[in-house]
Structure 1
């Protein structure tokens, strides 16, 4: 169960960052304190599309 909790926590953090940063990749990676390569890998892993969070 611990693995599932960690994965869910990562997913929640990514979604919260996407909402807060309005889908801006650089700001999201910076706020999560991860490098851009890892950031893009996680987006792909969780099937998160930044366009869904962009405003305007």
Structure 2
């Protein structure tokens, strides 16, 4: 059951990726990925600092 859900998730992401690439180009995709990494890093740093205060 779990494996089928994982495969369906990957297929969904591939379809979203395909639609995104049809509408936009590689530069916007790269910009979105960089933005996602920056946001992930920021939330991790904030979480670490909040744990330190407790």
Report the TM-score when normalising by structure 2: 0.46
Structure that is richer in helix per residue = 2
**Is the radius of gyration larger for structure 1 or structure 2?**
2
Report the TM-score when normalising by structure 1: 0.45
